Structure 1
């Protein structure tokens, strides 16, 4: 605790110095003579071009363009971002390497992007290099989802939509009400969405010994999923007589899933599957509630102080039952499984932004504190069956997470050509966990100091041409579920489907990073950005799969080092640049090439976290007075990846073609027609475990459907 206090005290002193210097340089406020006011509007391109930190903002119009049912669907088209299932990735890395924030804070348990309606989002920030203001748990980068803020005017909006596919429907309704006056504003957004999905997929498992096929079977699965999502967000703002602003916002996200699956297997050779006929039923109830209040004061000198306090709670209940029979109908398994996760806590943030000094400095200092309590319980019960061992367990995990971060940063316009960003953030985390598997409480403490330096150079004599350089230190704290001893039994236990266990001795991964890029900007909407980056990751967390007794078990450990390299090219331009008589069509493209290697794993293909070699998007948008349309093709490379000496996997290259058309109707109504996944690429993957005893291979085939979505919106 003494070292903990010393770290925070030192950071507080560092945070205070630039602001104190800035305050000393601020002149006393003097009356300003009446002059004509000139309003200068900042576009997305100019804001990105002049930002010393490497930040890209995706506005509401771009997010809503395709009429997506969820934010997750919209994110997959963002430049340099890929989505694998529900995992959002930058530089091809997920699993905590890409930091996902909501209003600058980590999303609570139970929060899912596929359950968040796009109408609740004001903008999405893509931050490729770390900044001190946000947590530096961002080795690959940060995606910050900023929820809707105070409305600019009174208004009402209603959206009705339905998505249709071969075996899928997805109706939704969204409404927004807003009012604004001299004293403040009021806004309420609500969204309700329902999804019915009936996927089917195939799985083939093989086992070879001495190169000879000893066992092989094929499993066919029919699944039914019913999912309902509710989003509710009221927001109030007040402008006080002193000129201070006070705001209050509450966000409720709730989801309910019900479904099941029927698996039937066919034995090709050998013994085949342990459970030839396996039936599953499940239910998932998630709810997260976050309420926050903020206060902002602006000083006559141009300085600004703000603070925000929030409380949150989330509940996730999951239940599942399985029963299995052999080919003759004999009952082999009758299992119930229940998981309850409850998370609650509070955060307190604040910052002081000094006025920009005469020498071009804009210092900021602040803090970010949080306290979280989590309780998790896993219960598994097997009905007693003759000759079949039971695997009952009741595991309870209690965890407390305390964190405190202090930071200071300074953006400095050195002259007309040079701008710099310097930042320092110190984060201290303390995790206390107890579980029925581990017995005694275990305490893990981490203290990470993250210095950050970014430089922007506008080439002299080359208008709107510039270069960037960033040096960062980031980290990835071990996920709470991975440092807690909580054993999970798989139904079919094999090396490619092992049981799961935790490791309380895990330490954070740390990374030294360098980013460099060159940017060309011409007229508004025309840009070419070429960037390269490197991450050197130490204390890498990897899974080890071992045979313990009669069961295969996977557990994480800090092993080795990884190097990650990325090259990214982004371009956009209106079509009339190439063809003077062209209609109002905007072209855009993005291409990312990734390389990575992990020490201790033989190559080739020893890439980190299943990182794809490349990803690319290309799109075009037409905007007319009465209608607009566009399309985007997104591709993510497949191929082989080796995750350990014994394990490797393969996925196919995935292509997704989305298109939309929007029509402005009478009485301020808008009709939007969109289609997604028009190429209907089948998802295929393979997992292989190979050791001295033999080779296990599992192969998955999952067809996909094109989805047609109709959306009508009315404004008044």
Structure 2
């Protein structure tokens, strides 16, 4: 009998070509006695402690699952794509996407001050690529640009693919909500506080069918006040004589730092789709999807420097006031036609615009309280991208499916910056600037991929992506920079399920690349308020080349009946690993300019040779039938749990040092989560996230390290009626500070001088109360 053609799936979803059917599962779960708190904590990192021999006759519970579950999709996908559903994203009451992603196994999120970065395998700095509906997120995009409530799911893929070769570590694809034929009327209200600062958010989701069309509309209004206090200690040590081995601290001072921000934002996500048969067994479908966000921010930072040893710094105190207006607009139009034999044609047109208007003012004083700095900066940055994509998908017999894609993208970044400073008596040197930048990028790409069912138990994917990128950067303070890059990205993946219920094995080989960002290429300076060897200015390098990497990814996934039920619906283990060989890795090198009185220290990007990176991850999930019924009154149903542990390593081959490694890569990341019901109306969750230290010796005698850290999360929900929920959540309970240590070794006047700093960002519990209801 001919195989039913698989429907078209968005990026990253290479499902098994052979159809699957829903199935009923009979699960046996063993209960464990225990009343102390210590075993409960241990279950977060050692869930197998729950699986003791039962003291009473085992009850049989029927659990119904289907092949559309996240675990089943991950098993069926040749690349092992991990899917985080909307329910999983919202089940803890988070309103920020960064907080929801932080809970996902295998994903790390760094959030220091106002900066946020998502990493796979501990690799950030552009190695992990963010996508929106399968297309690269535009320059200037931040996680706050898309409200969490506007997402349908998140798709996570390790390694590169023919659709997105610009992803050495992998991709995190943010899929927005689509229209639904079911009437939707949901309302959510949330209030929170952290460091005594109030936060509030309200959202409404509407949708319904209208003839052959469906429509949806999401609206989010938010007002958040945030605070990030920090303590920084810096010191300078000087050798008594060259080669003596003894050093004297000549200067040490502590900085009491605080950043504040208040952001008021409005966001909308209108969407529409239409579907109709063509009379020959085929189907036409059109859709529109837009996201808009307007945000106004007021904030800044205050630094007070206290001398401990030696003379005070040139600027003993400073006060920066920042005002931002951000506008984000993403639009996508799509038309596709699928014939009766499964052949699909698709055209997508996407447009993104991110605009940021900023004005800032900085006042600085020396130790005597005399003004030494008075600076005003007005800036504007606009990023625009227009992308046209053509996709053709065609079955080739029973066991093949061919994908062909063509892409053309036009991107432009315009930036202006006017800096006005006063030359104060006895103050720091004044610098007045009027800078304008204009960067254009044109990208052409074609990819070809063949999905092949080698046998009922083995599937393979092979393909190649060819890409050409041309950039043209100009400005009034540097010469025009032109670059052209041709890149080839082959991909080969294999998935097999041996007989004997031993699980699914996957192996992938791919070649990806990472292009320099426009700001990395343009020779523009980005200056900190306090310029020191530890906090130097940053400057682009027009000679940067793309990074290229070969990646070998593998995984094993198997259901474990002993942890929850047969077939892997209740219990499951996933082991995944990756090995990457990176060429022309982009790092920073410190340039010392003693003749420059304004900016004597500058970090410049450059290609630093080769690097190796490896990661190994273990995920376990399951449930215990009796749950906490023997420990806590009112506990009913199973105790559901999941844990994960990831180990990361990297090495820079061409940097001579004790610990040459990629910066800010934690040695290990562990996560755990417990869920327990208390009757039909109460639900509870508790989670733990911990990560190990990170240590990297970098070029130019620099060292960067991060201390280990951990945090607890908990929430409780009350469901008084169907489609109604009241939730109290606590995030970053008992959280450790985020501590960064830096060291720079230089030679000044023939003597070795070492600069050290310890920067500790303090964290406090975020309390959130939310109400959800249909209407």
Give the TM-score normalised by the residue count of structure 2.
0.84
Matched, 1:669 2:757: no
- CA–CA distance in structure 2, aligned partners of residues 268 and 152 of structure 1: 67
2:110 is matched with which residue?
84
Matched, 1:564 2:618: no
Which residue, out of 129, 141, 160, partners 1:99?
Answer: 129
Distance 1:111-1:192 versus aligned 2 partners, 3 A rule = farther
Which residue, out of 679, 700, 705, partners 2:759?
Answer: 700
Displacement of 1:40 in angstroms is 7.3
| C-alpha contact (below 8 Å) 1:430/1:443 kept by paired residues | yes
Distance 1:433-1:490 versus aligned 2 partners, 3 A rule = same
Displacement of 1:374 in angstroms is 1.3
Displacement of 1:578 in angstroms is 9.8
1:532 is matched with which residue?
577
| C-alpha contact (below 8 Å) 1:45/1:525 kept by paired residues | no
Matched, 1:654 2:709: yes
| C-alpha contact (below 8 Å) 1:488/1:499 kept by paired residues | yes
Deviations 1:589-636 (A, max 9, x none): 111111110023234332213211111111112356323221221112
1:65 is matched with which residue?
91
| C-alpha contact (below 8 Å) 1:110/1:287 kept by paired residues | no
2:461 is matched with which residue?
421
Matched, 1:409 2:449: yes
Which residue, out of 191, 213, 231, partners 1:202?
Answer: 231
| C-alpha contact (below 8 Å) 1:60/1:122 kept by paired residues | yes
Matched, 1:271 2:311: yes
Distance 1:138-1:523 versus aligned 2 partners, 3 A rule = same
Displacement of 1:450 in angstroms is 0.6
Which residue, out of 473, 483, 486, partners 1:444?
Answer: 483
Give the TM-score normalised by the residue count of structure 1.
0.91
- CA–CA distance in structure 2, aligned partners of residues 464 and 247 of structure 1: 42
SS in structure 2 opposite 1:318? strand
2:473 is matched with which residue?
433
Distance 1:579-1:662 versus aligned 2 partners, 3 A rule = closer
- CA–CA distance in structure 2, aligned partners of residues 315 and 701 of structure 1: 32
2:11 is matched with which residue?
none
1:157 is matched with which residue?
186
Displacement of 1:280 in angstroms is 1.1
- CA–CA distance in structure 2, aligned partners of residues 50 and 267 of structure 1: 61
Distance 1:290-1:115 versus aligned 2 partners, 3 A rule = closer
Displacement of 1:711 in angstroms is 0.8
SS in structure 1 opposite 2:655? coil
Distance 1:579-1:622 versus aligned 2 partners, 3 A rule = closer
2:508 is matched with which residue?
470
Q: Which deviates more, 560-569 or 308-317?
A: 308-317
SS in structure 2 opposite 1:74? helix
Distance 1:660-1:539 versus aligned 2 partners, 3 A rule = same
1:606 is matched with which residue?
660
Deviations 1:140-161 (A, max 9, x none): 1110000001214012011000
Displacement of 1:456 in angstroms is 0.8
Pairing of 1:640-651 with structure 2 (within 5 A): 640-651=695-706
Distance 1:666-1:347 versus aligned 2 partners, 3 A rule = same
Pairing of 1:102-117 with structure 2 (within 5 A): 102-117=132-147
1:484 is matched with which residue?
522
Displacement of 1:41 in angstroms is 5.3
| C-alpha contact (below 8 Å) 1:157/1:713 kept by paired residues | yes
Which residue, out of 121, 139, 142, partners 2:168?
Answer: 139
- CA–CA distance in structure 2, aligned partners of residues 326 and 544 of structure 1: 30
| C-alpha contact (below 8 Å) 2:138/2:385 kept by paired residues | no
- CA–CA distance in structure 1, aligned partners of residues 67 and 575 of structure 2: 27
- CA–CA distance in structure 2, aligned partners of residues 198 and 130 of structure 1: 37
1:23 is matched with which residue?
none
2:259 is matched with which residue?
223
| C-alpha contact (below 8 Å) 1:426/1:447 kept by paired residues | yes
1:183 is matched with which residue?
212
SS in structure 2 opposite 1:414? strand
Displacement of 1:279 in angstroms is 1.2
SS in structure 2 opposite 1:47? helix
SS in structure 2 opposite 1:446? strand
- CA–CA distance in structure 1, aligned partners of residues 95 and 297 of structure 2: 16
Distance 1:622-1:356 versus aligned 2 partners, 3 A rule = farther
Deviations 1:302-327 (A, max 9, x none): 22221111222221122211111223
Deviations 1:655-679 (A, max 9, x none): 1211122221236321121110011
| C-alpha contact (below 8 Å) 1:250/1:289 kept by paired residues | yes
Displacement of 1:174 in angstroms is 0.4
| C-alpha contact (below 8 Å) 2:665/2:694 kept by paired residues | no
SS in structure 1 opposite 2:72? helix
Which residue, out of 225, 235, 241, partners 2:271?
Answer: 235
| C-alpha contact (below 8 Å) 1:629/1:661 kept by paired residues | yes
- CA–CA distance in structure 1, aligned partners of residues 190 and 183 of structure 2: 24
Pairing of 1:125-524 with structure 2 (within 5 A): 125-133=155-163, 135-210=164-239, 211-240=247-276, 242=278, 243-355=283-395, 357-358=397-398, 360-388=399-427, 389-439=429-479, 441-460=480-499, 462-463=500-501, 465-521=503-559, 522-524=567-569
Distance 1:526-1:499 versus aligned 2 partners, 3 A rule = same
Matched, 1:625 2:625: no
Pairing of 1:575-590 with structure 2 (within 5 A): 575-576=624-625, 583-590=637-644
Distance 1:345-1:468 versus aligned 2 partners, 3 A rule = closer
| C-alpha contact (below 8 Å) 1:349/1:367 kept by paired residues | yes
Displacement of 1:218 in angstroms is 1.2
Displacement of 1:583 in angstroms is 2.8
| C-alpha contact (below 8 Å) 2:128/2:171 kept by paired residues | yes
Distance 1:625-1:523 versus aligned 2 partners, 3 A rule = farther
Q: Which deviates more, 411-420 or 120-129?
A: 411-420
- CA–CA distance in structure 1, aligned partners of residues 539 and 77 of structure 2: 44
Distance 1:580-1:219 versus aligned 2 partners, 3 A rule = closer
Distance 1:506-1:676 versus aligned 2 partners, 3 A rule = same
Deviations 1:80-138 (A, max 9, x none): 111112010111011100011111112223432134321100000010132212x1111
| C-alpha contact (below 8 Å) 1:207/1:214 kept by paired residues | yes
Displacement of 1:421 in angstroms is 1.0
| C-alpha contact (below 8 Å) 1:254/1:286 kept by paired residues | yes
| C-alpha contact (below 8 Å) 1:307/1:348 kept by paired residues | yes
| C-alpha contact (below 8 Å) 1:73/1:114 kept by paired residues | no
